Amino acid sequence: MEPRQPNIIFIMSDDHASHAISAYGSKINQTPNIDRIAKQGMRFNNCFCTNSICTPSRASILTGTYNHINGVTTLASKLDGRQITFPKLLQAAGYQTAMIGKWHLGHGGHHDPTGFDYWNVLPGQGLYHNPEMIEMGTKKVFEGYTTDLITDFSLDWLKNRDPNQPFFMMTHHKAPHRPWDPSEAHMQMYKDIDIPEPETFNDDYSTRASAAKEAKMRVDRDLNARDLKIPIPEGLTIEEEKKWKYQRYIKDYLRCVASIDDNVGRLLDYLDQHNLTENTILVYTSDQGFFLGDHGWYDKRFMYEESLRMPFLIQYPRKIEAESVNDNMILNVDFAPTFLDFTNLDIPDQMQGSSFQPLTRGELPEKWQTSMYYRYWMHLSHHNVYSHYGIRTLRYKLIYYYADSLDQPGTIDDRRPPEWELFDLEQDPYELDNVYHNSEYTEIKQQLENELHRLQMEVGDQPYPN
Q: Which stretch binds Ca ion (CB under 5 A): 87-95, 113-121, 287-295, 438-446?
A: 287-295
Q: Contact between 306 and Ca ion (CB under 5 A)?
A: no
Nearest residue to Ca ion, using CB? 54
Give me the DSSP letters along 375-411.
Answer: EE--TTHHHHPPPEEEEEESSEEEEEE----TT-TT-
Q: Which is nearer to Ca ion, 15 or 341 (CB)?
A: 15
CA distance 137 to 34: 32
Q: Which stretch binds Ca ion (CB under 5 A): 53-61, 160-168, 217-225, 309-317?
A: 53-61
Least spacing, CB of residue 22 vs Ca ion, in Å? 21
Least spacing, CB of residue 177 vs Ca ion, in Å? 6
Give me the DSSP letters along 7-75.
Answer: EEEEEEESS--GGGSGGGT-SS---HHHHHHHHHSEEEEEEE-SS-SHHHHHHHHHHSS-HHHHS--ST
Q: Contact between 378 and Ca ion (CB under 5 A)?
A: no
Q: Which is nearer to Ca ion, 75 or 422 (CB)?
A: 75
Q: Which stretch binds Ca ion (CB under 5 A): 10-18, 35-43, 195-203, 447-455?
A: 10-18
Cβ(412)–Cβ(288) under 8 Å?
no
Q: Contact between 15 and Ca ion (CB under 5 A)?
A: yes
Q: Which stretch binds Ca ion (CB under 5 A): 16-24, 73-81, 165-173, 283-291?
A: 283-291
Give me the DSSP letters along 84-120.
Answer: --HHHHHHHTT-EEEEEEE--S--SGGGS--S-SEEE
Cβ(53)–Cβ(388) under 8 Å?
no
Least spacing, CB of residue 15 vs Ca ion, in Å? 4
Cβ(222)–Cβ(428) under 8 Å?
no
By the 10 Å C-beta count (0-12 exposed, 13-18 middle, 19+ buried), 254 is classed as buried
Least spacing, CB of residue 14 vs Ca ion, in Å? 4
Site size toward Ca ion (CB under 5 A) is: 4
Least spacing, CB of residue 12 vs Ca ion, in Å? 9
Q: Which is nearer to Ca ion, 261 or 287 (CB)?
A: 287
Q: Which of residues 311-340 bind Ca ion (CB under 5 A)?
A: none
Q: Contact between 299 and Ca ion (CB under 5 A)?
A: no
The set of residues, in sequence order, having a beta carbon less than 8 Å from that of 358 and lying 6+ positions away, is: 364, 365
Q: Contact between 287 and Ca ion (CB under 5 A)?
A: yes
- Which of 23, 54, 211, 459 touches Ca ion (CB under 5 A)? 54
Q: Binding residues for Ca ion, per CB under 5 A?
A: 14-15, 54, 287
